[in-house]
Amino acid sequence: MYGITYNLLLENKREDWIDIGSLGIIHFKKGYFVYTGSAFGINGYHRIHRHLINFSYNGVSISDRDLKNYKRWWHIDYLKGYMDIIGFLSSKTDKKMECIVANFLSDKFDGIKGFGCSDCSCYTHLHYSPVRIKILTALVDIHNLLRSYN
């Protein structure tokens, strides 16, 4: 089945405590976070589109009214209004590869335990780096590897 494995690159401009639903209130450091996900089927790119239009970019955010009415389906949705999306990478895959990507990133970066991985046994699908270039380099490396298998 056709699908995509994707990463959202987020910037947290200030240290903050954020309520992440079932995970509780979690401390997020200032810096860069990368979320790993996947989507399969005809609506795969709609999930990325949903993320892209619902995060703020360069400080331009959604209104408080819209944030109150926003339906949160996934852990990543709770970061809306707190972090800016600054990029994304995706790779076409015919297998679910998000856990391979998440585990690759876990070997290199700290993460938020349990974030985005309630349907698998990964430690996390959200990783942190205080330095943008380090996390970008790792993302390019793993996506180049994914693309070499397809």
Per-residue pLDDT of the chain (150 residues; tens, 9 = 90+): 578 899 999 999 999 999 998 999 999 999 999 999 998 877 777 777 777 766 665 555 544 445 555 566 678 888 988 898 899 898 988 788 999 999 999 999 999 999 999 889 999 999 999 999 999 999 999 999 988 876
Parent domain of 74: 3-149
State whether residue 47 is helix, strand or coil.
helix
Paired with 36 in beta bridges are 7
Alpha carbons 7 and 133: distance in angstroms, whole number: 15
Count of structural domains within the chain: 1
| 32 three-state secondary structure | strand
Read off the pTM.
0.87
